[in-house]
Chain A
Amino acid sequence: MSDNDDPDRSQPDAQLAEFEKRLNAKLEARRAQESKYDRPNSNGWAIGFRYGTEFIVGVLVGAALGFLVDRFLGIAPFGILIGTLIGFGAGTLNVVRAAKELGERSQR
Protein backbone atom coordinates (compact mmCIF):
# COMPACT_ATOMS: atom_id res chain seq x y z
CA MET A 1 0.00 0.00 0.00
CA SER A 2 1.53 3.26 -1.03
CA ASP A 3 0.08 6.37 0.49
CA ASN A 4 0.69 8.40 -2.64
CA ASP A 5 -2.22 6.81 -4.53
CA ASP A 6 -4.71 8.18 -2.12
CA PRO A 7 -5.07 11.93 -2.23
CA ASP A 8 -6.60 11.98 1.25
CA ARG A 9 -3.61 10.26 2.77
CA SER A 10 -0.97 12.48 1.24
CA GLN A 11 -0.78 14.61 4.36
CA PRO A 12 2.61 14.91 5.99
CA ASP A 13 3.29 12.34 8.70
CA ALA A 14 3.68 14.97 11.36
CA GLN A 15 0.11 16.09 10.86
CA LEU A 16 -1.09 12.50 11.10
CA ALA A 17 0.83 11.92 14.30
CA GLU A 18 -0.62 15.11 15.70
CA PHE A 19 -4.10 13.91 14.84
CA GLU A 20 -3.49 10.56 16.48
CA LYS A 21 -2.26 12.23 19.63
CA ARG A 22 -5.38 14.35 19.84
CA LEU A 23 -7.59 11.33 19.15
CA ASN A 24 -5.94 9.31 21.90
CA ALA A 25 -6.29 12.15 24.38
CA LYS A 26 -10.00 12.43 23.53
CA LEU A 27 -10.50 8.67 23.82
CA GLU A 28 -8.79 8.58 27.19
CA ALA A 29 -10.93 11.39 28.52
CA ARG A 30 -14.01 9.60 27.21
CA ARG A 31 -13.02 6.35 28.88
CA ALA A 32 -12.38 8.08 32.18
CA GLN A 33 -15.81 9.68 31.88
CA GLU A 34 -17.46 6.34 31.13
CA SER A 35 -15.72 4.46 33.91
CA LYS A 36 -17.14 7.02 36.32
CA TYR A 37 -20.63 5.97 35.27
CA ASP A 38 -19.70 2.30 35.37
CA ARG A 39 -18.74 2.22 39.01
CA PRO A 40 -22.13 1.96 40.74
CA ASN A 41 -23.11 -0.99 38.57
CA SER A 42 -25.68 -2.25 41.03
CA ASN A 43 -27.92 -0.36 43.40
CA GLY A 44 -27.37 -0.26 47.15
CA TRP A 45 -30.45 -2.28 47.94
CA ALA A 46 -29.26 -5.21 45.84
CA ILE A 47 -25.83 -5.16 47.51
CA GLY A 48 -27.38 -4.98 50.98
CA PHE A 49 -29.71 -7.82 50.17
CA ARG A 50 -26.77 -9.84 48.89
CA TYR A 51 -24.85 -9.45 52.17
CA GLY A 52 -27.97 -10.20 54.20
CA THR A 53 -28.81 -13.46 52.44
CA GLU A 54 -25.18 -14.60 52.39
CA PHE A 55 -24.95 -14.23 56.17
CA ILE A 56 -28.37 -15.60 57.16
CA VAL A 57 -28.14 -18.59 54.85
CA GLY A 58 -24.75 -19.50 56.35
CA VAL A 59 -26.24 -19.53 59.86
CA LEU A 60 -29.33 -21.47 58.76
CA VAL A 61 -27.37 -24.14 56.90
CA GLY A 62 -25.06 -24.54 59.89
CA ALA A 63 -28.02 -24.94 62.24
CA ALA A 64 -29.75 -27.38 59.88
CA LEU A 65 -26.62 -29.53 59.61
CA GLY A 66 -26.27 -29.49 63.39
CA PHE A 67 -29.91 -30.53 63.73
CA LEU A 68 -29.34 -33.45 61.37
CA VAL A 69 -26.27 -34.51 63.33
CA ASP A 70 -28.43 -34.42 66.48
CA ARG A 71 -31.07 -36.58 64.86
CA PHE A 72 -28.70 -39.24 63.60
CA LEU A 73 -26.18 -39.38 66.43
CA GLY A 74 -28.60 -38.62 69.25
CA ILE A 75 -26.36 -36.03 70.89
CA ALA A 76 -28.96 -33.27 71.18
CA PRO A 77 -28.56 -30.39 71.82
CA PHE A 78 -24.83 -30.19 71.13
CA GLY A 79 -25.02 -30.68 67.37
CA ILE A 80 -27.32 -27.72 66.80
CA LEU A 81 -25.31 -25.54 69.20
CA ILE A 82 -21.99 -26.22 67.52
CA GLY A 83 -23.61 -26.18 64.08
CA THR A 84 -25.07 -22.71 64.65
CA LEU A 85 -21.74 -21.39 65.91
CA ILE A 86 -19.89 -22.76 62.88
CA GLY A 87 -22.76 -21.41 60.74
CA PHE A 88 -22.04 -17.91 62.06
CA GLY A 89 -18.45 -18.39 60.98
CA ALA A 90 -19.54 -19.58 57.55
CA GLY A 91 -21.96 -16.64 57.19
CA THR A 92 -19.20 -14.18 58.05
CA LEU A 93 -16.89 -15.89 55.57
CA ASN A 94 -19.61 -15.60 52.90
CA VAL A 95 -20.00 -11.87 53.59
CA VAL A 96 -16.23 -11.30 53.52
CA ARG A 97 -16.00 -13.13 50.16
CA ALA A 98 -18.94 -11.19 48.74
CA ALA A 99 -17.41 -7.89 49.87
CA LYS A 100 -14.05 -8.82 48.37
CA GLU A 101 -15.65 -9.80 45.08
CA LEU A 102 -17.79 -6.65 44.87
CA GLY A 103 -14.77 -4.53 45.74
CA GLU A 104 -12.72 -6.13 42.97
CA ARG A 105 -15.50 -5.58 40.47
CA SER A 106 -15.97 -1.90 41.32
CA GLN A 107 -12.25 -1.22 41.06
CA ARG A 108 -12.01 -2.38 37.47
Chain B
Amino acid sequence: MADTNPITQFEIHEVAPLEVAGLNLAFTNSAFFMVLATVSVTLLMALATNKRALVPGRGQSVAEILYGFVADMVRSSAGNEGLRFFPFVFTLFIFILAGNMFGMFPYLPLPIHGVDNHGFTITSHIIVTLTLSMLVMAIVVGFGVYKNGFNFLKLFVPAGVPPVLYIIVTPIEVISFLSRPISLSVRLFANMLAGHILLKVFAGFIVMLIATESAMGLVGILPFFMVVGLTALEFLVAFLQAYVFAILTCIYLNDALHPAH
Protein backbone atom coordinates (compact mmCIF):
# COMPACT_ATOMS: atom_id res chain seq x y z
CA MET B 1 0.00 0.00 0.00
CA ALA B 2 2.34 2.61 -1.23
CA ASP B 3 0.29 5.75 -1.10
CA THR B 4 -3.44 5.92 -0.66
CA ASN B 5 -3.32 9.36 0.88
CA PRO B 6 -5.78 11.35 -1.25
CA ILE B 7 -4.07 14.70 -0.72
CA THR B 8 -0.55 13.78 -1.78
CA GLN B 9 -1.57 14.91 -5.27
CA PHE B 10 -1.69 18.54 -4.15
CA GLU B 11 1.84 18.66 -2.80
CA ILE B 12 4.20 21.20 -4.31
CA HIS B 13 7.68 20.00 -5.22
CA GLU B 14 10.60 22.10 -6.25
CA VAL B 15 11.87 21.23 -9.69
CA ALA B 16 14.60 23.83 -10.07
CA PRO B 17 15.57 25.71 -6.90
CA LEU B 18 16.01 29.44 -7.27
CA GLU B 19 16.43 32.02 -4.55
CA VAL B 20 16.39 35.75 -5.17
CA ALA B 21 17.13 38.08 -2.25
CA GLY B 22 15.93 35.60 0.34
CA LEU B 23 12.74 34.86 -1.59
CA ASN B 24 12.12 31.28 -2.63
CA LEU B 25 11.31 31.55 -6.32
CA ALA B 26 11.85 27.88 -7.13
CA PHE B 27 10.34 26.47 -10.30
CA THR B 28 7.77 24.03 -8.90
CA ASN B 29 5.61 21.29 -10.35
CA SER B 30 2.74 23.79 -10.22
CA ALA B 31 4.71 26.22 -12.37
CA PHE B 32 5.65 23.32 -14.61
CA PHE B 33 2.02 22.43 -15.25
CA MET B 34 1.17 26.07 -15.96
CA VAL B 35 3.95 26.19 -18.54
CA LEU B 36 2.77 22.86 -19.93
CA ALA B 37 -0.80 24.18 -20.29
CA THR B 38 0.31 27.45 -21.88
CA VAL B 39 2.81 25.90 -24.29
CA SER B 40 0.52 23.08 -25.40
CA VAL B 41 -2.39 25.43 -26.04
CA THR B 42 -0.18 27.88 -27.91
CA LEU B 43 1.28 25.11 -30.06
CA LEU B 44 -2.15 23.61 -30.71
CA MET B 45 -3.60 26.96 -31.76
CA ALA B 46 -0.58 27.90 -33.89
CA LEU B 47 -0.63 24.52 -35.59
CA ALA B 48 -4.39 24.60 -36.13
CA THR B 49 -4.45 28.05 -37.68
CA ASN B 50 -1.19 28.17 -39.64
CA LYS B 51 -2.82 26.90 -42.86
CA ARG B 52 -5.68 29.42 -42.80
CA ALA B 53 -7.65 27.24 -45.13
CA LEU B 54 -10.96 28.53 -46.48
CA VAL B 55 -12.46 25.13 -45.81
CA PRO B 56 -11.15 24.30 -42.35
CA GLY B 57 -9.51 21.00 -41.65
CA ARG B 58 -10.00 19.06 -38.45
CA GLY B 59 -7.57 21.07 -36.31
CA GLN B 60 -8.71 24.39 -37.71
CA SER B 61 -12.37 23.57 -37.02
CA VAL B 62 -11.51 22.92 -33.39
CA ALA B 63 -9.82 26.33 -33.17
CA GLU B 64 -12.72 28.01 -34.97
CA ILE B 65 -15.35 26.35 -32.78
CA LEU B 66 -13.45 27.45 -29.67
CA TYR B 67 -13.20 30.98 -31.07
CA GLY B 68 -16.91 31.06 -31.90
CA PHE B 69 -17.86 29.61 -28.54
CA VAL B 70 -15.95 32.23 -26.55
CA ALA B 71 -16.93 35.07 -28.90
CA ASP B 72 -20.62 34.17 -28.46
CA MET B 73 -20.14 34.04 -24.71
CA VAL B 74 -18.55 37.51 -24.63
CA ARG B 75 -21.10 39.00 -27.02
CA SER B 76 -24.13 37.61 -25.18
CA SER B 77 -23.11 38.91 -21.76
CA ALA B 78 -20.99 42.01 -22.45
CA GLY B 79 -22.35 43.10 -25.84
CA ASN B 80 -20.34 43.97 -28.93
CA GLU B 81 -18.32 46.49 -26.94
CA GLY B 82 -17.15 43.64 -24.75
CA LEU B 83 -15.40 42.05 -27.71
CA ARG B 84 -12.37 44.25 -27.01
CA PHE B 85 -11.83 41.94 -24.03
CA PHE B 86 -12.14 38.85 -26.19
CA PRO B 87 -8.37 38.06 -26.15
CA PHE B 88 -8.34 38.27 -22.36
CA VAL B 89 -11.43 36.10 -21.84
CA PHE B 90 -10.26 33.58 -24.43
CA THR B 91 -6.83 33.29 -22.78
CA LEU B 92 -8.36 32.93 -19.35
CA PHE B 93 -10.85 30.30 -20.50
CA ILE B 94 -8.36 28.24 -22.43
CA PHE B 95 -5.73 28.42 -19.67
CA ILE B 96 -8.16 27.21 -17.00
CA LEU B 97 -9.58 24.57 -19.32
CA ALA B 98 -6.10 23.26 -20.19
CA GLY B 99 -5.05 23.33 -16.53
CA ASN B 100 -8.16 21.39 -15.49
CA MET B 101 -7.72 18.88 -18.29
CA PHE B 102 -4.03 18.27 -17.55
CA GLY B 103 -5.12 17.73 -13.96
CA MET B 104 -7.28 14.84 -15.14
CA PHE B 105 -4.15 12.74 -15.74
CA PRO B 106 -3.75 10.69 -12.56
CA TYR B 107 -0.28 9.68 -13.66
CA LEU B 108 1.80 11.71 -16.08
CA PRO B 109 5.20 10.23 -16.82
CA LEU B 110 7.47 13.12 -17.70
CA PRO B 111 11.09 12.82 -18.77
CA ILE B 112 12.09 15.92 -16.82
CA HIS B 113 14.18 15.39 -13.74
CA GLY B 114 12.53 16.38 -10.50
CA VAL B 115 8.97 16.56 -11.80
CA ASP B 116 6.93 14.03 -9.92
CA ASN B 117 5.08 11.52 -12.00
CA HIS B 118 1.74 12.07 -10.36
CA GLY B 119 -0.50 14.58 -12.05
CA PHE B 120 -1.14 18.02 -10.70
CA THR B 121 -4.14 20.33 -11.08
CA ILE B 122 -3.02 23.94 -11.01
CA THR B 123 -6.58 25.17 -10.34
CA SER B 124 -6.82 23.05 -7.16
CA HIS B 125 -4.72 25.65 -5.33
CA ILE B 126 -6.57 28.74 -4.18
CA ILE B 127 -3.52 30.95 -4.68
CA VAL B 128 -3.71 30.27 -8.42
CA THR B 129 -7.45 30.83 -8.79
CA LEU B 130 -7.39 33.87 -6.52
CA THR B 131 -4.62 35.40 -8.61
CA LEU B 132 -6.70 34.85 -11.75
CA SER B 133 -9.82 36.37 -10.22
CA MET B 134 -7.84 39.31 -8.82
CA LEU B 135 -6.53 39.89 -12.33
CA VAL B 136 -10.13 39.98 -13.57
CA MET B 137 -11.13 42.43 -10.84
CA ALA B 138 -8.08 44.63 -11.47
CA ILE B 139 -9.10 44.86 -15.13
CA VAL B 140 -12.75 45.55 -14.24
CA VAL B 141 -11.83 48.35 -11.82
CA GLY B 142 -8.99 49.72 -13.96
CA PHE B 143 -10.96 49.79 -17.18
CA GLY B 144 -14.14 50.93 -15.45
CA VAL B 145 -12.40 53.96 -13.94
CA TYR B 146 -10.48 54.68 -17.14
CA LYS B 147 -13.61 54.61 -19.30
CA ASN B 148 -16.26 56.04 -16.98
CA GLY B 149 -14.17 58.05 -14.57
CA PHE B 150 -16.21 59.02 -11.53
CA ASN B 151 -19.32 57.44 -13.03
CA PHE B 152 -17.89 54.03 -12.25
CA LEU B 153 -19.01 54.57 -8.66
CA LYS B 154 -22.62 54.49 -9.90
CA LEU B 155 -22.15 50.75 -9.65
CA PHE B 156 -22.64 51.13 -5.92
CA VAL B 157 -25.59 53.52 -6.20
CA PRO B 158 -28.35 51.68 -8.06
CA ALA B 159 -30.94 53.86 -9.77
CA GLY B 160 -34.54 53.90 -8.64
CA VAL B 161 -33.86 53.59 -4.91
CA PRO B 162 -35.11 56.24 -2.50
CA PRO B 163 -32.11 58.31 -1.29
CA VAL B 164 -32.68 57.41 2.37
CA LEU B 165 -32.00 53.76 1.62
CA TYR B 166 -28.53 54.51 0.23
CA ILE B 167 -27.22 54.21 3.81
CA ILE B 168 -28.00 50.49 3.63
CA VAL B 169 -27.90 49.78 -0.10
CA THR B 170 -24.44 51.21 -0.77
CA PRO B 171 -22.61 49.09 1.84
CA ILE B 172 -24.48 46.03 0.57
CA GLU B 173 -23.43 46.80 -3.00
CA VAL B 174 -19.82 47.36 -1.91
CA ILE B 175 -19.68 44.04 -0.06
CA SER B 176 -21.37 42.31 -2.98
CA PHE B 177 -18.69 43.74 -5.27
CA LEU B 178 -15.85 42.76 -2.93
CA SER B 179 -17.20 39.22 -2.63
CA ARG B 180 -16.98 38.66 -6.37
CA PRO B 181 -13.28 37.78 -6.70
CA ILE B 182 -13.54 35.50 -3.67
CA SER B 183 -16.60 33.60 -4.85
CA LEU B 184 -15.10 33.38 -8.33
CA SER B 185 -11.86 31.83 -7.06
CA VAL B 186 -13.36 29.69 -4.29
CA ARG B 187 -15.83 28.09 -6.68
CA LEU B 188 -13.16 26.95 -9.13
CA PHE B 189 -10.71 25.87 -6.44
CA ALA B 190 -13.28 24.02 -4.31
CA ASN B 191 -14.72 22.16 -7.28
CA MET B 192 -11.35 20.94 -8.48
CA LEU B 193 -10.11 20.12 -4.97
CA ALA B 194 -13.25 18.22 -3.93
CA GLY B 195 -13.51 16.33 -7.20
CA HIS B 196 -9.89 15.20 -7.18
CA ILE B 197 -9.98 14.16 -3.52
CA LEU B 198 -13.15 12.16 -4.21
CA LEU B 199 -11.48 10.44 -7.17
CA LYS B 200 -8.40 9.50 -5.17
CA VAL B 201 -10.40 8.34 -2.14
CA PHE B 202 -12.33 5.88 -4.26
CA ALA B 203 -9.20 4.83 -6.13
CA GLY B 204 -7.56 4.28 -2.72
CA PHE B 205 -10.41 1.92 -1.74
CA ILE B 206 -9.51 -0.35 -4.66
CA VAL B 207 -5.87 -0.54 -3.55
CA MET B 208 -6.81 -1.16 0.07
CA LEU B 209 -9.32 -3.89 -0.78
CA ILE B 210 -6.89 -5.70 -3.07
CA ALA B 211 -4.11 -5.36 -0.48
CA THR B 212 -6.13 -7.52 1.92
CA GLU B 213 -5.24 -10.46 -0.39
CA SER B 214 -8.51 -12.22 0.39
CA ALA B 215 -11.91 -12.54 -1.17
CA MET B 216 -12.46 -8.95 -0.15
CA GLY B 217 -10.34 -7.97 -3.14
CA LEU B 218 -13.24 -8.88 -5.41
CA VAL B 219 -15.35 -6.19 -3.78
CA GLY B 220 -12.81 -3.76 -5.22
CA ILE B 221 -14.75 -3.88 -8.47
CA LEU B 222 -17.42 -1.66 -6.88
CA PRO B 223 -15.21 1.39 -6.17
CA PHE B 224 -13.64 0.77 -9.56
CA PHE B 225 -16.96 1.43 -11.30
CA MET B 226 -17.43 4.44 -9.05
CA VAL B 227 -14.06 5.82 -10.16
CA VAL B 228 -14.98 5.33 -13.81
CA GLY B 229 -18.22 7.25 -13.28
CA LEU B 230 -16.54 9.98 -11.26
CA THR B 231 -13.86 10.46 -13.88
CA ALA B 232 -16.54 11.19 -16.47
CA LEU B 233 -18.19 13.60 -14.03
CA GLU B 234 -14.85 15.29 -13.37
CA PHE B 235 -14.33 15.92 -17.07
CA LEU B 236 -17.72 17.63 -17.12
CA VAL B 237 -16.82 19.67 -14.02
CA ALA B 238 -13.42 20.60 -15.50
CA PHE B 239 -15.11 22.06 -18.57
CA LEU B 240 -18.06 23.55 -16.72
CA GLN B 241 -15.97 25.40 -14.16
CA ALA B 242 -13.74 26.91 -16.85
CA TYR B 243 -16.94 27.99 -18.63
CA VAL B 244 -18.47 29.44 -15.45
CA PHE B 245 -15.26 31.35 -14.68
CA ALA B 246 -15.17 32.80 -18.18
CA ILE B 247 -18.86 33.75 -18.33
CA LEU B 248 -18.72 35.46 -14.92
CA THR B 249 -15.66 37.35 -16.12
CA CYS B 250 -17.78 38.58 -19.05
CA ILE B 251 -20.60 39.62 -16.71
CA TYR B 252 -18.21 41.55 -14.48
CA LEU B 253 -16.58 43.18 -17.49
CA ASN B 254 -20.05 44.27 -18.56
CA ASP B 255 -20.28 46.20 -15.28
CA ALA B 256 -17.04 47.98 -16.15
CA LEU B 257 -18.49 48.95 -19.53
CA HIS B 258 -21.93 50.00 -18.29
CA PRO B 259 -21.79 50.74 -14.56
CA ALA B 260 -25.11 52.53 -14.27
CA HIS B 261 -27.94 50.00 -14.38
Contacts and interface: CB of A to CB of B under 8 A. Distances in A.
Interface string A45-65: 010011001100110111001
A86 B171 contact: yes
B175 A65 contact: yes
A60 B182 contact: yes
15 contacts: A42-B243, A43-B236, A46-B237, A49-B190, A53-B186, A58-B176, A61-B175, A61-B178, A61-B179, A65-B175, A86-B175, A89-B175, A90-B176, A93-B172, A93-B173
| Size category, B interface | 20 to 34
A46 B179 contact: no
Contact of B179 (A42, A50, A90): A90
A89 B170 CA distance: 11
B168 A89 contact: yes
Interface string B30-62: 000000000000000000000000000000000
B174 to A, nearest CB: 8
Contacts of B236: 43
Given A53-B187, A86-B175, A108-B76, 15 more contacts: A43-B236, A43-B240, A46-B240, A50-B244, A53-B183, A53-B190, A54-B179, A57-B179, A58-B183, A60-B182, A61-B178, A86-B168, A89-B172, A90-B176, A93-B176
The 8 residue pairs across chains A and B that have the minimum distance between CB atoms = A90-B175, A57-B183, A90-B176, A61-B179, A89-B172, A57-B179, A53-B183, A58-B179
A87 B171 CA distance: 9
A85 to B, nearest CB: 10
B251 interface: yes
B240 A42 contact: yes
Given A86-B172, A90-B172, A65 B178 contact: yes
Contacts of A57: 179, 182-183, 186
A18 interface: no
Secondary structure class of chain A's binding surface, majority of residues: helix
Interface in B174-215: 175-176, 178-179, 182-183, 186-187, 190-191
B152 to A, nearest CB: 18
Name the residue among B178, B179, B191 with the largest chain A CB count within 10 angstroms.
B179
A59 B240 CA distance: 25
A91 B236 CA distance: 27
B178 A94 contact: no
A95 to B, nearest CB: 10
Nearest to B175: A90
A4 B110 CA distance: 66
Nearest to A66: B175
B260 to A, nearest CB: 16
Contacts of A54: 179, 183
A46 B244 contact: yes
B161 to A, nearest CB: 12
A94 B244 contact: no
Contacts of B191: 46, 49
A101 interface: yes
A56 B171 CA distance: 17
Contact of A58 (B76, B175, B243): B175
Given A43-B236, A60-B182, A50 B187 contact: yes
Interface in B67-123: 76
